[in-house]
Amino acid sequence: MIIVLLAALITITLTLRTKTGRRFITGQLLDPNLDQFNRSTFFTGDPTGVSPWTRAPVIHRIAVRLGAVLLLFLYIIGLFVAPVVDLAVCATILAILLSWAAWQGWHWFTSRDTRRMKRNLFDGLKHTTGWDDVERPGDVILATKDYQTTGVTCLLPGTFQRLDTTLENTAIIASRTLGGEWEAHWDLTGEPTVILRHAPEPPDQLTWDE
């Protein structure tokens, strides 16, 4: 036990003596050259990051890194104190992680059509809505697998131009991309959004009152 604690103290000391180690502890990106491109603060992430890790706030990176190191030392200490319990806990965590990975894989496989739809709709509406290339379709287009009945919600940027031609073209582009006739329902108060829904089918019969 004393040897493990001494090794942990030496590891922390050596980490703090290096520039990379200090960046690791403080939640910064390990490559200093990336600082000019990353605008993450302690509590706020950078939405323009190229990966979830670069988009994460600093406190998130600190928690992940220190949590991983702490779990490693707890595992080593557990091997000395209660090896059977330690291995049982590790087996349980491994089973949970494998189950979560299997569920994520199944969800990714079953939602492939929805992801393809989001990408095509993003490419079709990008110039009309003003979306930037760095944005991901899944972040600005919200839809489930049954989007044909529940509709599609598009989150528009703050620089969205509220022009009549833009409002008209959105429904036309959505219809060409998604197939069928779609209507655009706009909410331009506060954060602008547009909800795309299937246009109602014409009735089979009409009376004189209708």
Per-residue model confidence (pLDDT) at position 164: 62
Per-residue model confidence (pLDDT) at position 99: 96
Per-residue model confidence (pLDDT) at position 12: 75
Beta strands in 138-192 (DSSP E): 141-142, 152-155, 182-187
Q: Do 123 and 53 lie in a common domain?
A: no
Domain end marker among 54, 88, 110:
110
The three-class DSSP label of residue 184 is strand
The three-class DSSP label of residue 83 is helix
Per-residue model confidence (pLDDT) at position 206: 56
The pair of structure tokens assigned to 108 is 């990714």
Q: How far is CA 95 from CA 70, 73, 89, 129, in A?
A: 20, 21, 10, 44
Query: What is the domain range of residue 181?
Result: 112-198
Whether this prediction's pTM lies above 0.85 is answered by no
Per-residue model confidence (pLDDT) at position 95: 95
Per-residue model confidence (pLDDT) at position 201: 62
Q: Do 9 and 26 lie in a common domain?
A: yes
d(CA 155, CA 122) in angstroms, rounded, equals 11
Predicted confidence pLDDT, tens digits, the chain (210 residues): 577 667 777 777 777 788 888 888 888 888 888 887 788 888 888 877 778 888 889 999 999 998 888 888 888 888 888 889 888 988 999 999 999 999 999 998 999 999 999 999 999 888 888 888 778 888 889 998 888 888 899 988 877 766 666 677 888 888 888 888 888 888 877 788 889 998 766 555 556 655
Sequence-distant contacts of 20-29: CB under 8 A, at least 24 apart: 24/65, 25/62, 25/65, 25/66, 26/58, 26/62, 27/58, 27/59, 27/60, 27/61, 27/62, 27/65, 28/58, 28/61, 29/54
* Residue from 153, 95, 91 nearest 121 by CA: 153
Total count of domains within the chain: 2
Q: Do 132 and 193 lie in a common domain?
A: yes
Domain-located, residue 22 = yes
Q: Directed axis angle between helix 2-17 and helix 58-81, to 10°?
A: 160
Give the largest CA-CA distance in the chain: 92
Q: Do 104 and 120 lie in a common domain?
A: no
Per-residue model confidence (pLDDT) at position 170: 84
Q: Do 98 and 189 lie in a common domain?
A: no
Check residue 34 and report its DSSP letter. Answer: G
Domain-located, residue 141 = yes
